[in-house]
Chain A
Amino acid sequence: MKKLPKTDVVVIGLGWAGSIIANELADEGLDVIGIERGPWRDTARDFNIGTVTDELRYVMREELMLRTRQNTCTMRNNPSQTALPMRTWGSFHPGNGTGGAGNHWAGITFRFQPHEFQLKSHLTERYGADAMPAELTLQDWGTTWEEMEPHYMQFERVAGTSGYAGNLNGEKRAGGNPFEGPRSGDYPTPPLRQPYGPTLFAQAAKEMGYQPFPVPSSLVSEAYTNPYGVTMGPCTFCGFCTNYGCANYSKASAITTVLPALMRKENFTAYTNCEVLEVLTDSSGKKATGVTYVDSSGDTWEQPADLVIVAAFTFENVRLMLLSHIGEAYDPVTNKGTTGRNYAYQTANNVTLFFDDKNFNPFIGAGAVGMGIDEFNNDNFDHSGLGFFGGGSIRVTPIGSAPIGYRPLPPGTPKWGSKWKRALKDNYLSTMSIGCEASSYTTRTNYLSLDPNYKDPHGRPLLRITFDFAQNDLKMAQYCTGKVAEIAKSINPREMIVKPMTGHWSSVPYQSSHVVGGFVMGADPSTSSVNKHLQVWDVPNLFVVGASAFPQNPGYNPTGTVGALAFKAAHAIRTWYLKRPGEMITA
């Protein structure tokens, strides 16, 4: 193996988190190398407007996603089973290449709420310790809303997020989300204009006494130039959004908002098509010395660095930590160890409404255009006596209706033949659905580990996911979806399909890419892997940044928080760590 000259910083992964941190540290004057296992992505070449409108390629064949042949996970619902590989993606869609999953995401950009960051303490205080379901392993994050807020603001300003603040410095504003934490500034761009479905839903919700608001969207509503001087174009509601790259620079991602500025910096170099094999530490195990990676011709290199940032998405963050023996691997039987514990997901529910007399023009859409309500999310409602905690974000976000995947059919419709065709034609334009993206609370047996049977092309064990929905979450799903059904009923559809999450987590149908946890943040090293600065306990020059840090998942999309954590970590490094390198940050 060849050893390269030492650099100040090596960043693993050039998606949202990696690009943000690399840019911040390059601004600090450090020499930064970003290592990305996938290819360079260019909007005009790779998302050429002439060919990007291709559902087969980008949705069915998963063009932008990590190829499972390069790397995948194994999964099982509980430790008594043998995990088997996900040979094709279904439930979630990991990204690849510069920009990562940020290139094909939906763009929904919520902030988590203040109580989320002290979830365990908050629920215990409000409902009493006895009310906490025994199966759950909820934790506090070790940080607070006040510490997070400026970094949420930073991320939204880089991404150009469109929305309307419901709580501006404590002042509640009608039309915004009344449940959001107090924001220091409004969204950088105004909310998107809405198609029919969301406005119909919002009206119905309002009539029931709820307070609908435009879903915060990083598909920007107008041409926007961010603090780096990088400009985005406005969303055109093309309906080829989630799972696709954006042809007109409207979907915020590292490639449209950060990398154009970062690449121009003399002290930054990007290596693409290079897969990091492990993080190296010295003999004490308390100091990272760099990484090894294999390039596209198969050669292995050692890249020494003074500071190592791991920002490779939840799964690869945790797998690299396991492969590199950082922290003790979590064992669900003994409940010992921290690397891999508290893995969570998202509980996806929806209600489909069939009409005869409405045309939703469902092909007009985008991943984050929509209206939502938060009355039944997280701890926004009184859970006394309900037997569960958590909730979901209820929203109508029509993402488009490309017809291989979008074929809404009433229950009992055959799947082929003339009757099928007639039902499809009759319902295609006149169906809408209300989603409820709900919380996923951690349990002792939901965790990540190395698979004992299956390996990647470099001979390293695949990551093994052991996950099933907590009983708590299934109860919550029933309750919240019931509330959705009430709203749906008030709109008078011809018929409805009410679909709360039930049974076991299946890896097959798409639900959400919001996989979180496994290398969580907290104040207590015995139950967390990183401190509130994303700094690895006892390995001060190693930071692991991403949704891997979430100790559980609330009923919100995670990317806003991932971006905020990236800025938070960068801030801590710039203001504290670099002045006292080699020390755990105690501020």
Chain B
Amino acid sequence: MKTLNALSAALLLVASVGSQAQPEYDQYARGSYLATLGDCTACHTTDAKQPYAGGVKINTPFGVLAGANITPDRETGIGDWSYDDFRRAMTEGIGHNGKRLYGAMPFTAYTKMSERDLQDLWAWIQTLQPIHHEVETNQLPFPFNIRTSLIAWNWLNFDKGTFVPDAKKSAEWNRGAYLVQGLGHCGTCHTSKNFLGGDKDDRFLSGSVVEGWYAPNLGADAHTGLGKWTQEDIVSYLRTGVNRYAIASGPMADAVRHSTQYWRDEDLRAVATFLKEGKTHDEEVPQPLAASDDRMKLGAQIYEAKCSACHSPGGRGERNIFPQLAANPLINQPDATSLIRVVSAGSRGVDTDARPTAPAMPAFSGVLDDEQIAAVLTYVRNSWGNAAAPVSASDVKDVKDDMK
């Protein structure tokens, strides 16, 4: 068990509840908030009426896994686990009776958690309703279903250990680092993966394809990262689901809906502070295509007829409802998977307490074929301060085929 230095302890108390309440209740409240920070429900709740009873299918490149039942049910949940079992699972990826967990359970991130947070979370889990619900977690095909292979995987991909604050940085930065690297497990989606599905550590938050979407670059690069985002852009996106560049949809809609919209303001600001001081990732900034390019001309026509009514002439967007497309780093990602997907299949923005509208992109594949979708995306990606690789008809077809 690691000893906390005084600075860590101070940091981790930054967001804690006041101490007048009963100590047990206090702990449950902290634990509940930690579960929100970690978004446990995303993988462990299938049916809102049976919280944390597991069963959520997780598609990995290697096959299907399912989130376990983590209610205190003795037969089908973790009712017979000890605290040590829980801590090992969260920080080492080793479950009850030594069963190794696949990295889809992001222990590689949760390993950062402090001892006190783990204890609080465990205490809260004990308060959950035990639900009898059998879950077959390992649905991977052979040979991936052999858990002992994870020994090697962990050796290659896993840096165990609790978060160590950087004494040169502010308390707020360290809190943000703790959240982003730890409970927030942002890297699970936003960090490029190696061929084993582990994080490329030198590419932390540089962007990655995940489950048919492209989780964008969250580094400090200006063209494709958060370099142009303000603190308010980041905080607003996480709290309300909406900022000038986007309305969270796809996997982030879930993360905002179940998790980040409930984070405390100071935690959101800490995340924003940490991200804004992040590393860059040597982004490539291409030359934008000339407006005379045939794809650009076709795209411009389509844009005026089908896109402008919402996203406005010049891609300027409309406040809080239609994202601006001009000079929008999300439009400039090297991989256009998310863009292709929302244009061809449509997508609904998240509804949050602060912003309940949840408008949706309509699906355009009924009136535009692959080449036209490619043209209008190429046009958007190379107009109004944007510059990014053109999109081809076969790119569009690939994304659509993946969705079938």
- B228 within 8 Å of A by Cβ? no
The interface bits of chain A over 78-91 (1 if a CB of B lies within 8 angstroms of the residue's CB, else 0) are 00000000000000
Within 8 A of B (CB), among A203-259: 223, 225, 228-234, 236, 238, 247-249
Question: Is B309 a contact partner of A229 (Cβ separation < 8 A)?
Answer: no
In the complex, whether B298 has a CB less than 8 A from a CB of chain A is: no
Question: Which of B318, B353, B362, B364 has the largest number of chain A CB atoms within 10 A?
Answer: B362
Known: A49-B306, A248-B310, A264-B351. A230 touches B367 (CB 8 A): no
In contact, A49 and B309 (Cβ under 8 angstroms): yes
B309:A260 contact, CB within 8 angstroms: no
Chain B residues with Cβ below 8 Å from A264 are 351, 353, 356
Given A43-B360, A225-B320, 17 further pairs, Cβ under 8 A: A44-B363, A48-B362, A49-B310, A50-B364, A50-B367, A223-B318, A223-B322, A229-B356, A231-B359, A232-B321, A233-B318, A234-B318, A236-B308, A236-B309, A238-B309, A249-B310, A249-B359
| Chain A contact residues: helix, strand, loop or mixed | loop
Chain A positions within 8 Å of B, measured between CB atoms, are: 42-45, 48-51, 223, 225, 228-234, 236, 238, 247-249, 260-261, 264
Instruction: Report yes or no: A223 in contact with B359, Cβ–Cβ below 8 A.
Output: no
Q: Is the CB of B362 within 8 A of A233?
A: no
A-B contact pairs, 13 of them (CB 8 A): A44-B363, A45-B346, A45-B363, A48-B366, A49-B306, A50-B367, A228-B356, A230-B357, A231-B321, A238-B309, A248-B310, A249-B321, A264-B351
Residues of A within 8 A of B4 (CB): none
Which residues of chain B are near A238, meaning CB under 8 Å?
309
Q: Does B358 contact A (CB under 8 A)?
A: yes
Q: Is the CB of B354 within 8 A of A229?
A: yes
Query: What residue of chain A has the Cβ atom nearest to residue B367's Cβ?
Result: A50
A225–B361 alpha-carbon span in the complex (Å)? 19
CA distance A223 to B355 in the complex (A): 14
A233 touches B321 (CB 8 A): yes
Decide if B96 is an interface residue (CB 8 Å cutoff): no
Residues in B lying within 8 Å of A, measured CB to CB: 306, 308-310, 318-322, 346, 348, 351, 353-364, 366-368
* Chain A residues positioned under 8 Å from B353 (CB to CB): 229, 264
Cα–Cα distance between A50 and B305 once the two chains are bound (Å): 9
Q: A223-B318, A233-B321 are in contact. Are A260 and B351 (CB under 8 A)?
A: yes
Expressed in whole angstroms, the minimum distance between the Cβ of B306 and any Cβ of chain A is: 6
Q: Is B357's CB under 8 angstroms from A229's CB?
A: yes
Contact A45 B360, beta carbon cutoff 8 Å: yes
Question: How many whole Å from A366's CB to the nearest CB in chain B?
Answer: 12
- 9 closest A-B pairs by CB: A44-B360, A50-B367, A48-B362, A223-B318, A44-B362, A231-B321, A223-B319, A231-B320, A236-B309
Shortest distance between the CB of B380 and any CB in chain A (Å): 16
B346 → A minimal CB distance (Å): 6
Given contacts A44-B359, A50-B306, A230-B357, whether A223 and B321 have CB atoms under 8 Å apart is yes
* Distance in angstroms between the alpha carbons of A236 and B321 in the assembled complex: 15
Contact of B322 among A48, A228, A233 (CB under 8 A): A233
The winner among B309, B348, B351, B354 for most chain A CB atoms within 10 A is: B309
Note all chain A residues with C-beta closer than 8 A to B361: 44
**Measured CA separation A225–B348 after assembly (Å):** 18
Would you give the shortest CB distance from B82 to chain A, in whole angstroms? 36
CA distance A116 to B196 in the complex (A): 76
B363: chain A residues within 8 A (beta carbon): 44-45, 48
Shortest Cβ distance from A101 into chain B, in angstroms? Answer: 22
What B residues does A42 contact at CB under 8 A? Answer: 360
Q: Are A260 and B367 in contact (CB under 8 A)?
A: no
Question: Bound complex: CA of A229 vs CA of B361, how far in Å?
Answer: 19
Across-interface contacts of A49 in B (CB, < 8 A):
306, 309-310, 362
CB distance from B232 to the nearest CB of A (A): 16
Contacts A49-B362, A233-B318, A233-B321 given; indicate if A44 touches B356 (C-beta within 8 A).
Answer: no
Whether the pair A231, B351 counts as a contact (CB closer than 8 A) is no
A48 to B357, CA, bound (A): 17
Q: Which of A51, A231, A249 is the most central at the interface, judged by chain B CB atoms within 10 Å of its CB?
A: A231
Q: Complex formed: what's the CA distance from A50 to B368 in Å? A: 9
Contact partners of B310 in chain A: CB under 8 A = 49, 233, 247-249
Contacts of A223 in B (CB 8 A): 318-322
The interface residues of chain A lying within 8 Å CB-to-CB of B308 are 236
On chain B, the residues within 8 Å of A48 by CB distance are: 362-363, 366
> For B366, what are the chain A residues with a Cβ–Cβ distance below 8 Å?
48, 50-51
Cα A572 to Cα B346 with chains together (Å):
42
- Complex: how many Å from CA A122 to CA B368? 60
Which B residues are CB-close (under 8 A) to A236? 308-309
Which residues of B have CB within 8 Å of A234? 318
Chain A residues with CB under 8 A of B360: 42-45
A257, closest chain B residue (CB): B357
| Structural contact, A260 and B358, CB atoms closer than 8 A | yes
**Chain A residues near B357 (CB, 8 Å)?**
229-231, 249, 260
| Closest residue of A by beta carbon distance from B319 | A223
CB distance from B240 to the nearest CB of A (A): 9
Chain A residue numbers with a CB within 8 Å of B319 are: 223, 231
Distance of B68 from chain A, by nearest CB (Å): 28
Q: Which of the residues A45, A51, A233 comes within 8 Å of B367, measured between beta carbons? A: A51
Residues in A neighbouring B364, C-beta threshold 8 A = 50
- How far does the alpha carbon of A318 sit from the alpha carbon of B120 in the complex, in Å? 60
Instruction: Kindly provide the distance from the CB of A402 to the nearest chain B CB, expressed in whole angstroms.
Output: 16
- B310: nearest chain-A partner, CB-CB: A248
A60 to chain B, nearest CB (A): 21
A49 and B302 CA atoms in complex are apart in Å by 12
Which residue of B has the minimal Cβ distance to A256? B357
User: Bound complex: CA of A534 vs CA of B289, how far in Å?
Assistant: 63
The smallest C-beta distance from B347 to any residue of chain A, in angstroms, reads 9
List the B residue with the shortest CB-CB distance to A235.
Answer: B309
Closest Cβ of chain B to A369, distance in Å, is 15
User: Which residue on A lies nearest to B317, using beta carbons?
Assistant: A223
Residues of B within 8 A of A233 (CB): 310, 318, 321-322
- Cα–Cα distance between A385 and B78 once the two chains are bound (Å): 89
Please, which residues of chain A bring their CB within 8 A of the CB of B367? Answer: 50-51
The verdict on A261 contacting B356 (CB below 8 Å), with A44-B348, A44-B361, A51-B366 known, is: yes
How far is A260 from B322 in the complex, measured between Cα atoms in Å? 16
A43 x B359 contact (CB < 8 A)? yes
Q: What CA separation (Å) do A44 and B366 show in the bound complex?
A: 13
Q: Which residues of A contact B318 (CB under 8 A)?
A: 223, 233-234
Which of B310, B322, B354 gathers most chain A CB within 10 Å?
B310
Query: Across the interface, do B356 and A50 meet the contact criterion of CB distance under 8 Å?
Result: no
Residues in B whose Cβ lies below 8 Å from that of A247: 309-310, 362
User: Is B362 a contact of A50 with CB atoms below 8 Å?
Assistant: yes
Q: How far is the CB of B266 from chain A (nearest CB, A)?
A: 23
> CA A200 – CA B321 in complex, angstroms?
34
| Residues of chain B lying within 8 A (CB to CB) of residue A249 | 310, 321, 357, 359
Give chain A nearest CB distance to B299 CB in angstroms.
15
CA distance A234 to B317 in the complex (A): 11
B248 to chain A, nearest CB (A): 15
Residue among B356, B358, B366 facing the most chain A CB atoms (10 A cut-off): B356
Determine the chain B residues whose CB is within 8 A of the CB of A229 once the complex forms.
Answer: 353-357
Q: How far is the CA of A223 from the CA of B319 in the complex (A)?
A: 6
Cα A249 to Cα B320 with chains together (Å): 12
Taken together as a complex, chains A and B put the C-alpha atoms of A236 and B318 apart, in Å, by 12
Q: Which residues of B contact A232 (CB under 8 A)?
A: 321
Instruction: Tell me the smallest distance from the CB of A251 to a CB of chain B, in Å.
Output: 12
CA distance A223 to B244 in the complex (A): 13
